[in-house]
Structure 1
Amino acid sequence: MQDTGQLNLDWSAALIGGLADAGVREFVLSPGARSTPLTLAALRHPRLRCTVILDERAAAWFALGRVKADGAPVALVCTSGTAVANWLPAVVEANQAALPLVLLAADRPPELHGWGANQTIAQADLFAGQVRATHAPGAPFPGFAPDWLRQLAARAVADSRWPLPGPVQLNLAFREPLLPAAAHIAFPDAEPLACAAPTAQPDAAAVRVFAAALSTGRGAIVCGEGCAGDADPAEFARAVTELAARLACPILAEPLSGLRFGAHDRTQVCHRHDLWLRDETRAAALRPDWVLRFGAFPVTRMLQRFVAGAATLLVEPHGRWPDPLHRTQQLLRADPLAACRALFGGELVAADAGWLAAFAEAEAAAEGWLHARPQPPEAALFAGLCRALPAGTHFFCGNSLPIRDLAAYSGSGEKAIAFFANRGASGIDGNLATAAGLAASGPTVAVVGDLTAQHDLGSLALAAGRPLAVIVINNGGGGIFDLLPPAALPEFEAGWLTPQRLDFAHTAAAFGLAYRRCDDPAAAIDAAGAALAAGEPRLIEFVVDRAASLALRRAIPPGG
């Protein structure tokens, strides 16, 4: 009889080797017994980079940071039971944000399910509705075909990347003994398994219809996160700005679009629209006849209202329909870069010169207002960081108020800064772990709120040895709720604001991180720059007077 432990290893070697042959280069592993054959195969594979993270929840968010940084699928490995369930929040984010993950969840064999066996749960369908595919090949059996497992691995990687990128689950049962007495692994010597995803080329007839709509009246291009699709962001930036020049229309670019910073032509890129759109008179005068949208639906309510007032022409490559306002009149299924090039090559009629000039005037008015009126301290923090950070820095932004302040105050510039956030499901969980995943590829600054930091506090352990500056905006709780209806309720502080008593100095010491408390934005910016220059992690607490900041936020809007 074949040794069960050796059978487990041979099976795992074929599967892990197949993932490596299909292009996976990184594994994030969490310790556990049932996953032992998978973990050992990953650790011993010569072409894989493995990171071991104790907490499966943090491991999954860290893996998302790696995907965001490098764009390639990352594999996760954990043991059976609730370990798998800890992946769920990050799996939801990967689904919503279309990020490729390969989930290798170890499991008990079929004969233990339903009989009260320890650490045995129904996990094959745990991520139902959140994954692109689920495969449960059963426990290893004698005489299995290694090529079948290699093909299964290649299929899982391909499904995670196309037609809609996202997570794929492999539920993998193992019988005991999990390892042989002498652990020997032989990876199959085989050619790489290539499965290239196609580029969605736009239909020529649809492009003509699109071009005709773009040539009617005055319009605007709106770009959100993921606007480049699978194309090189710099190439898309050049293409979409050329299209805007041809149409003589503005581009209203959110910070996660990647269009606010870079070497491309930014003369028609608006980055202050979240400010001047608050002036209802100006917003009404600049209401477009059509909006050409690329990427995710806008973050801020100001830009959402702008989009709501016009017919939407939507370019979307992956089969989704990101239009919760239901304003789409034409939908072009195409790679965004290919769509821009096809439209640019067609017959387009530019808007009158006064249209683009009006947006330039609005941008200038917002700039003047920023310099003429006191701004909340967070404004100086975000603006100053974007000016001071070196080119190539990763900038991760937390949700709630930070992402909205980034939208309003980031500014624009020629140097390339890559902006990231977990906007798929827009939660506050896992933010620090995602930032640590980004920092594994290079210098990273993360700006998050105090509640967001506390929610993911354990992930500060992942900062060790990485060039990561974490700036925690401590404004005494959930400041965004000051701007929402619960602020008027007598239970507001207990139920929504929820101020905490965490001592961030002690927190930093517990995780072995350098710490600095700052009351001034310039000091926080300097501290972040020093941390990145030294290539060392640092926790920076930026203390904000919430009431004073709120009063400035409620000031008269531009032009009001």
Structure 2
Amino acid sequence: MISTKKHVQQLAALLHQKGINDVVISPGSRNGPMINTFVGSGLFNCRNIVDERSAAYFAMGLSQALNKPVAIVCSSGTATLNYAPAIAEAYYLTIPLIVITADRPEYWIDQLENQCINQRGIYSNFVKKEYNLPLEESETELWQAAREINECLNAAVSGKPAPVHINVPLEEPLHDLLDEEIPATKAIDTKESVLDINKASLNKLASELDSSNKVLILAGQQNPNQELEKLLVRFIEKTGAVVLKEHLANLKDESFCGSVDTLMAAILADVPSDFQPDILITFGGHFVSKALKQFLRKNKAGQHWHLSPANDHYDTYQSLTEVVKTDAITFFSQLLSEVGEKEQEYLHRWKNKENEVNQLRDKYISESQFSDLKVIAEVGQSIPENSVVHLGNSSPVRYALIANWPNNTTFLSNRGTSGIDGPMSTAVGYASVSEKINTVLIGDLSFFYDSNALWNNYINENLRIIVINNGGGNIFSLIKGPGESPAFQQHFFAENKFKAQGIAHTFGLDYLSAENESELKDSLTELYSPIRKNATILEVFTDAEVNTKTFRGLFKFVKQ
């Protein structure tokens, strides 16, 4: 049974033809025609999540895991606004969410009608394309709607992926049904253009690389890519270039340089000009390290090439000289055969400094008090091979980038907008279709903020949530400024006295806790026991003042 609404039938037909078969629905009445059609057709994998904010983040994680678009469907009114944080995050992480919102007919807008707001353009800054379906169902309007829907769905995945928004005004009756199949609707396909670099440009780039002794490559946040990793290793071996990456770049080879924050602290205390690049090459998404950005803005590269198939002019380091309109695989595979072999002096300088810093880091952590830093280092040693780790924002993502982890760990984090509002929902969505152990590493405020992530029927037994409960927003103790404010305790740190045990009980998760190093080791053994068959929360209690002292002490120590 499907809805009698022809626009909804067409929308479902086109989604199905383009392989978009996963739909996350939040219950409502105005979106009844979409619910009835998606569920009744039997063509879609429909999931129901009540909280729209959590639902949209869940869909984002699901899309990451499936590597394909996922549709989200909600009712009209403020339900649509609750999607906004996840849509913004998906936009900056280039995740193709298909946002479908039900709406009242336009004649009821601003007329004191229930659940009625102006929904036109509500996500305009964070979607690649948006379209308001017509209300009437004449042949001409159905033809126009099919064309516009095709454009939206193609835009979501072409070039740089991004969310798109389809707003669906609906008149009553909303729940009339037909015992029919979804009608055939013409799908319009698009073909991606060739991203090869032309010969003249290739020769120019190769010549400039050959004449530069210090080439630094920044690999930003991205999904694991073995082909790219192998290319980069070969490029390093031939040119002596340095590949600098954080864990979120998901590059594992030992020839790359990591430990970015501690490495920057040591470099700034040494001779920064020795590490200043002649040529900077960037690709991928965000870097977490503020120190890296400050270093490269102060010690600017002579040239900065950014690789972007979408022609993005990202001048993060205030030295951009060229946008190369291609992807990293095409760039390095084409350039590899054109550049000559070079000395490894610049690479050795970076690797020697990294080895020195890592030894200091390990010594410092082993001798430090029980703190967030020690907790996350211990988690890195205990996590199973071939795991997925979802890093919460604020302090967890920064601590985690300092620690060591198994080489085959996959790292994910909502670093598009870096908010604390949806990391757990995103992880739950990802874990729901993953066969690996998925660990969420999250702070206490972020955990409670996003606790509705656990309010659904898709909590997989592979989910492990480690809550670092330091009694508030400890990130504001780590950065300069807020800690010196008279309003710090109440309005920055936002002291938290709650525990996660009640939430674990409410949503049927197992619960473990630890307050010292010995208890932590025992709890981690339990958490990752092969016989554990239920999603579990491990809550670790630390002292905020000790955390701040230990974190700042690490950077002072490596500067020696």
The alignment's TM-score, normalised by the length of structure 1, stands at 0.91
Partner of 1:421: 413
Q: Is 2:105 aligned against 1:114?
A: no
Amino acid of the structure 1 residue aligned with 2:558: P
1:126-525 matched pairs, under 5 angstroms = 126-143=122-139, 149-180=145-176, 182-189=177-184, 194-215=189-210, 216-226=212-222, 233-260=225-252, 266-279=253-266, 280-282=268-270, 284=272, 285-308=274-297, 309-311=299-301, 312-350=304-342, 352-373=343-364, 374-375=367-368, 377-411=371-405, 413=407, 416-442=408-434, 443-462=437-456, 464-483=459-478, 484-519=480-515, 520=517, 521-525=520-524
Q: 1:461 to 1:121 in 2, by over 3 A?
A: same
On the 8 A contact 1:271/1:412 being kept in 2, the answer is no
Unmatched tracts of structure 1, length 5 or more:
261-265
Q: Is 2:537 aligned against 1:544?
A: no
Q: Aligned equivalents of 1:248 and 1:497: distance in 2?
A: 45
TM-aligned CA deviation for residue 191 of structure 1: 8.0
- What are the superposed Cα offsets for residues 366-410 of structure 1, whole Å, 9 maximum, x if unpaired? 222123223464344434444443444221001111111121113
Amino acid of the structure 2 residue aligned with 1:407: L
Q: Aligned equivalents of 2:448 and 2:489: distance in 1?
A: 17
TM-aligned CA deviation for residue 267 of structure 1: 3.4
Amino acid of the structure 2 residue aligned with 1:203: N
Q: Is 2:40 aligned against 1:44?
A: yes
Amino acid of the structure 2 residue aligned with 1:461: W
On the 8 A contact 2:431/2:460 being kept in 1, the answer is no
Q: Aligned equivalents of 1:168 and 1:24: distance in 2?
A: 13
- What are the superposed Cα offsets for residues 21-66 of structure 1, whole Å, 9 maximum, x if unpaired? 1121210000010111111111123332111001111100101111
Q: Aligned equivalents of 1:91 and 1:459: distance in 2?
A: 16
Question: How many equivalent residue pairs?
Answer: 541
SS in 1 for 2:321: strand
Q: Aligned equivalents of 1:557 and 1:316: distance in 2?
A: 38
- What are the superposed Cα offsets for residues 159-183 of structure 1, whole Å, 9 maximum, x if unpaired? 1112221111111011111122x54
Amino acid of the structure 2 residue aligned with 1:301: K
TM-aligned CA deviation for residue 225 of structure 1: 0.5
Amino acid of the structure 1 residue aligned with 2:125: G
Per mean C-alpha deviation after superposition, the further-off stretch among 280-289 and 443-452 is 280-289
SS in 2 for 1:408: coil
Q: 1:525 to 1:207 in 2, by over 3 A?
A: farther
Q: 1:202 to 1:465 in 2, by over 3 A?
A: same
Q: 1:529 to 1:140 in 2, by over 3 A?
A: farther
TM-aligned CA deviation for residue 144 of structure 1: 6.3
Per mean C-alpha deviation after superposition, the further-off stretch among 275-284 and 544-553 is 275-284
Partner of 1:263: none
Partner of 1:558: 558
SS in 1 for 2:528: helix
Amino acid of the structure 2 residue aligned with 1:187: I
On the 8 A contact 1:394/1:438 being kept in 2, the answer is no
Q: 1:283 to 1:132 in 2, by over 3 A?
A: farther
TM-aligned CA deviation for residue 303 of structure 1: 2.0
Q: Aligned equivalents of 2:469 and 2:101: distance in 1?
A: 37
On the 8 A contact 2:428/2:459 being kept in 1, the answer is no
On the 8 A contact 2:134/2:141 being kept in 1, the answer is no
- What are the superposed Cα offsets for residues 216-236 of structure 1, whole Å, 9 maximum, x if unpaired? 12122111113x7xxx71111
TM-aligned CA deviation for residue 147 of structure 1: 6.4
- What are the superposed Cα offsets for residues 432-467 of structure 1, whole Å, 9 maximum, x if unpaired? 111101111223110011111111122122463442
SS in 2 for 1:342: helix
Q: Aligned equivalents of 1:465 and 1:412: distance in 2?
A: 23
Instruction: State the identity %.
Output: 23
